[in-house]
Amino acid sequence: MAETIFRRTMMDEIERYLDTNDVIVMQGARQVGKTCILTYLQRQLLERGQRVLYIDLEDSRYVAMLDRGVDEFLLYLRGEGFDLPGLTQAGSKLFVLIDEMQYLTNPSSFIKLSADHHPELKLVVSGSSSFAIRTKFRDPLVGRTVHFEIYPLSFREMLVFRGVAFTPGMPLAEKKRLELQALYAEYALYGGYPKIVLTSEVELKERYLQQIVDTYVRKDVRDLMEIRDVSRFNRLLEVLASQSGGLLNVTELANTCSLSRQTIERYLFLLEQTYILRLVRPFHTNLRSELFKTPKVFFFDSGLMQMLWLKRLQKELLGPVFETSVYSELVKLYGPEQVGYWRTVDKKEIDFVVRSPDAPLPIEAKLQFPRAVPAAIKAFHARTASASTPPAATPYSVVGLYGVPASPEMVYPWQLYAHS
């Protein structure tokens, strides 16, 4: 019996490029589901009667073959019975799905030659490290590739994986609201890695998350950066996890972890490129002198954050964990470049500001719904309002989980989907 492969939200966008000449490149941390997306795509293409070849570069034999160049790959395809001239004559393509592209010595050369000289090949490739891919992409690929960043599951995807019915924007009965509330608390506590979502026992969730920490976060990132002082690097990860949602103080980090400022900055760059965390930049208009320029640090997954910070999963949802989960949701809805924060020198602060063409959307994350509009929201509106968007007309959201929403702008996390 075939394993159930769930459809990710990102497939809607990826499928738009299946009939183009673009090489589709998927990037994301390990274990977030890139292989499952490729497998889902393989099944869909086969059902449509397409010719498909799946290559896993965890198998070093394939790495050696592709490193020898496109001509060697074409010989392999002919040996496997693929009639490439026949595909060309029929106006068809062979879909080549390649997992873990970063293992190739020079993936950009392989992609460039394939895209430029073999239109009968449609490449869909994945990679687990943006840094490894970028440093190995030595040839210009502008106009040849389209990139997608794959993250752990969103809450909406978690509901799909768990078979829970949900339609954004629909009114909910009290029983359904309580069900979603409990499920979101679970999502925030344990995170969105697919294997974690599909595992029911908390003890196993914890064990699997620890494996991700040990095998992929610490080992892969450590090896990529050629880190020699492992204990100090591990200490840095723990401190950063404890500060998810907080302002980044590189000097303080350097003192706490006994590392140089330059080393801290290099580690932060690599942790961003391997999709472990993100430095969130402050939103500003023309009032730059009033604003903090220091970034905040957020982990992409709240379960992973807790394992690094507290060494085990918690039973009670903490404020920083909830805020991290809301950040993760906003990234998946709007993209990381669109999510900032706002803070003035007199410490008025908005957790998140989503940049949009119409007007910036300030968002506060509160585990308990407040009784009134936070004062920082009013300050933000007063300082960013214009003639076209006066304060009273400027939208905002307060995302909470417990208590009673006091206004229509106070929403549960799943209500964000109705406005994206």
C-alpha to C-alpha distance for 397 and 411, rounded to whole angstroms: 7
Q: How far apart are CA 56 and CA 63, in angstroms?
A: 9
Please check whether residues 196 and 111 belong to one and the same domain. no
Q: Report which secondary-structure segment, H or E, holds 188.
A: helix 174-190
| 181 and 162 in a common domain | yes
Quick one: what percent of the chain has pLDDT higher than 70?
91
Nearest Cα neighbor of 298 from 275, 317, 280 is: 280
pLDDT at 290: 43
Distances (CA, A) of 417 to 109, 148, 156, 330, 349: 40, 20, 8, 10, 24
Classify residue 216: in a domain, yes or no: no
In terms of Cα–Cα distance, which of 51, 10, 329 is closest to 188? 329
Q: Do 382 and 402 belong together in one domain?
A: yes
Q: What is the DSSP letter of 353?
A: E
Instruction: With H, G, I as helix, E, B as strand and everything else as coil, classify residue 24.
Output: strand
Which residues are paired to 362 by β-bridges? 353
228 within some domain: no
Query: Is there a single domain that holds both residue 314 and residue 172?
Result: yes
Q: What's the DSSP call for residue 220?
A: I
**pLDDT value at residue 338:** 94
Strand order of the β-sheet with 397-402 is 339-343, 349-354, 361-368, 397-402, 410-411
Asked whether residue 357 falls in the same domain as residue 400, the answer is yes
**3-state class of 398 per DSSP?**
strand
Domain count of the fold of the chain: 2
Q: Encode pLDDT of 246-259 as tens digits.
A: 999 999 999 999 99
Beta-sheet pairing, 94-99 with 51-56: parallel
User: Considering the domain boundaries, does residue 223 fall inside one?
Assistant: no
pLDDT value of residue 305: 95
- How far does CA 130 lie from the centroid of its chain? 12
Q: Which stretches of the chain score pLDDT less than 50? A: 1, 287, 289-290, 387
| Residues 161, 56 share a domain | no
Residue 266: inside a domain: no
Task: Judge if 134 and 39 occupy the same domain.
Answer: yes
**Of the candidates 131, 150, 169, which is a domain's last residue?**
150
**252 found inside a domain:** no
- Shared-domain flag, residues 293 and 312: yes
* Residue that finishes a domain, picked among 111, 126, 150: 150
Residue spans of alpha helices (H) in 191-317: 194-197, 202-211, 221-225, 230-242, 250-257, 261-273, 302-310
Q: Do 291 and 387 belong together in one domain?
A: yes
For 165-224, write each residue's pLDDT tens digit: 999 888 899 999 999 999 999 999 999 999 999 999 999 999 999 999 888 777 777 777
Where is the domain boundary, 150, 180, 197?
150
Phi and psi of 134, rounded to 5°?
Answer: -65, -40
- Environment class of 303 (CB within 10 Å of its CB; exposed 0-12, middle 13-18, buried 19+): buried
Is 244 domain-assigned? no
The rounded distance, in Å, linking the Cα atoms of 339 and 360 is 10
d(CA 353, CA 381): 12
The reply to whether 196 and 289 lie within a common domain is: yes
Q: What is the CATH number of the domain that holds 60?
A: 3.40.50.300
Confidence (pLDDT) at 293: 80
| Nearest of 383, 396, 374, 388 to residue 285 by alpha carbon | 383
Residue 323 and residue 185 share a domain: yes
- What's the 3-state SS for 83-139? CHHHHHHHCCCEEEEEECHHHCCCHHHHHHHHHHHCCCEEEEEEECCHHHHHHHCCC
Gap between the Cα atoms of 213 and 207, Å rounded:
10
How much is the pLDDT for 289? 45
Residue 317 belongs to a domain: yes
16 within some domain? yes
Looking at the structure, tell me whether residues 18 and 109 fall in a common domain: yes
Number of C-beta neighbours around residue 123 at 10 A: 22
- Whether the CA torsion 150, 154, 156, 157 is positive or negative: it is positive
Percent of the chain residues past pLDDT 90, beyond the cut: 64
The position carrying tokens 């809301």 is 326
What is the distance between the alpha carbons of residues 279 and 222, in angstroms, rounded to a whole number? 19
By residue range, what is the domain housing residue 116? 11-150
